[in-house]
Chain A
């Protein structure tokens, strides 16, 4: 952040220190209790003068205001991560308070603060036994959706990336190297719960069953109007998309898929090729992948001879 300091005389420095302590007083329950408990003249490194100024404030109203801020934070969490907030239940208020006791956020704007809170909630879910076991997956899912909605930019695709199934067909027949690019604003999530069922239960204000375990792979992507699309995908499609980095040729992707799924009976042959061609065609239609082609004349040795 780019700050300008107009002056740094003693009074201004003292006021800066006061404002830091003041901000903590309003956002950290632990610090507020330490200040108003009146034990000791220094609290958390702030000098006695600063602490005395804080202690001169109206305790009731300051605390009331601080609780309003916690309420605002809970509202922010509920807006950004509604299903997670529901699953956290009574833990939510404590976590919203603890967030202030720990680092808090440095940017109160909706998206930056949501990301900071999500990081804190994720850490809490990983280290504390709170909420159902699938709460981490739900937060991962809700954060991914939020990120895609806020972070997508236009143009979605780099210049020259094509979405024509017929051009794909022509290039494949001509044996030109084809590079598959996955959508730049997409997320592939591997979740251990039936996320759609969980969200539906929560939308109906029902707590989902704790034992709801189901391996789910989800593809999320955003279109150029900012509309988020979501669909279940299988492991092969997910692998195909992960391999579609725009640098690997379609043929090399087939090799990698054959290796990845060798145990599943995949063989590098016509059947895999045909299946991958159809998959790529479907993904092209849905705008999930794009293509670039290398149409330079191939060296004579690489030309395929007519039978």
Chain B
């Protein structure tokens, strides 16, 4: 009896867990006739271009709102309204009957004004995000990063991953706006501003680096902070230094695909020569052939890399 009750209880709990999101209250976004804004309760959200905003959408069940239109549009098949993690932004995807889709972003009215101000400001409080490790960020003033005149970035950056996002921050509205990137070259650190370089999306790729204009960073205090952060970053990349890490890799590969098959080769040889029992001789021959083949292949691969 107890077992049956426990079983029923487990099943009910399972159903409860799965059904909870489905029972969640319906949330409605009331769109204006021209789609320039929508309201949720008394809160107004206006449409704006959020290309430079670091907004995160995770597609969780409770982040979705139901769209209610001021005037029905027969061309529209479906509208998905998703709220961002910081709650200030919405991603609206409109699917039309002809199969085309339109993505647009909306933001709380006052937050949108602050966002636009952050985009145009050169006085903003910034955060330099070294991306790895996760809590590796330092604060700086944007005008401090741009104190030296911009020159062409002729040097190569050190590694593909040696660039760091610079964000203008507004904590009150939870806004993180991409302003530019910080590069590490052999000469030191450089700040590249997106608006100065006419970049309209915060994603640029190594092929573009040499054509960029960037500000060399000369502020001693800031340089110290940057070097510390860079050390933390590099420390995660290679705990023993790059050369030693590479050497460890090669030693492990030689040990694994070189010495182990070589050891088996010797074992196979010994079994073939010394063993009196036919079964062991046969095993020895098989091990000899397979270990020999493995060794030959890995020697071939080594030559391919070296040549």
Chain B associates with chain A: no
